[in-house]
Structure 1
């Protein structure tokens, strides 16, 4: 009876529910599409899922409200499918784009920096600024001394020469990347690398110096291998010695080159000085030569001593140069400072007992003191 009474009352009062017309359904779907587009306009992520869930319930509630208050039934399925299709379609596109960007970053930087740094870049590309920027870098140049002579002796055996270069560059490159450095380029047996780009490295100077010392250890290990191999075949080994120059200063770093080919590299006066320091290291009988800023930054960790003030090619201002020593007490360091001041003042003589005393106190600098003494003797003869 109640059902029949309700039907009669609805007919008498005209309270029937009408199905929405096609234009109205189309308008609702269009509104759904616009809302979805606004939701994913900037980016997609976990908020896209939340917004989609909220939208489904909102469309269902709106359909019920239409029945309850306007007596019109708008099927919620059409707007829901339209919203979800747009939202998740854009999310799938963004995901594919992100994966493509990660692959591009990995391909671009895998040959320069360690896999750990590549992964950090791929997960947070905002840390990468391409196209050139001004940054303070610690730049390292390393070069094997006398390698031209070695190459000359192996000119009739290019395979052995190539194998030797690869055996040399592989451990040195591993050292650079293990210490967070970026390999800029190879120039024959020379390696150019830098720290503090593309990722920030507050201790870039310290890591560069640590890498240089580890590179010397790697060269020593390779020499032992070459010596054993030469003894096994009854020949003479090729003894490798390396010079390293490190300088810290402001540079321009970024992707440089042409539209067809480019490299992630750096340039600037600080880079030029680092190259000059590497070349000048052999003139002081040391394996490592540091610029003034690099020495200042690592002085709290390593014992650095000043060797000279030089004017390198292309510069007019004298640049102090330093090296790292491992075994020197405070008294010996003070004596070395007095020695360098006397050298600058021109009061140092070849017969000065400081030469022998310092060579005994700081054995690492024995070749340096011998070079300075020979230079003074030659200038005295002239």
Structure 2
């Protein structure tokens, strides 16, 4: 990608309107102007299956560009937990899986309930790399933790996993869209696009290293996993795609219609600019609230609020935030600005 093809921060920001006080991209993103237009046009027109397929494949390509892989390494889906189940089913019986404490359950439960007597162990995120020792077969972790906003030490985790020959599975749902992400660093990278990528819910991606993909079975294969989907609609003799497309599930067409323009807008943006913008706003709120800074810059700010009083104060001020795991959680994205920092700080008495 050349510099000339990278959009400016202002170009991406112009895709959003009515965003004041919305600090919940970590819960669900706001639709772009392109998404609104695409969905409205689709609802007003007759269904066009060929156009739907084009939207799916364009979305796949945009996501591949976002995470630095080729489109043939990306499978499409609707939920990350379904995609994780493919990875869990491929592990040998009794394999040892390591996850961070308080990890989002969609990444953990498929391993717990895989029916293969998998040993699922948890360690604090800050010492996850140290817990990757001989005997660990797979490490599954979110690049950015949903509950706390903490950013994983990817370098340390990948290095430790390499030393013991463990697979690495990274859920980047809370990362892709506000920070640069390189899927080539891990064996499998998952992302549901309805949060920071501002897509309709029902658009998920799984990027796989080719050697890892060869160890996996296409458990959910249907017509769209066929080498030629339109020749794979009947019977059991269809040839599956020879790339990551064999792990596709039948796409939620209308969701991809709305996703394609949003993914294109983020793929054309400079995510280094978005990262600096979002983490800068988060840092200013932490400073206003007297909160310590994280070890690695994050766009998500959390603090203890077991009573929910702070969350209620934010809501009373017209601010959309969220409560998770006994904490109040706010998120700053490309569409937020300094006025949102001031609004939140004033609502909390700072």
Provide the TM-score with structure 1 as the length reference. 0.20
Higher RCO (C-alpha under 8 Å, 6+ residues apart) = 2
Provide the TM-score with structure 2 as the length reference. 0.21
Q: More helix by proportion, 1 or 2?
A: 1
Give the greater-gyration-radius structure (CA): 1
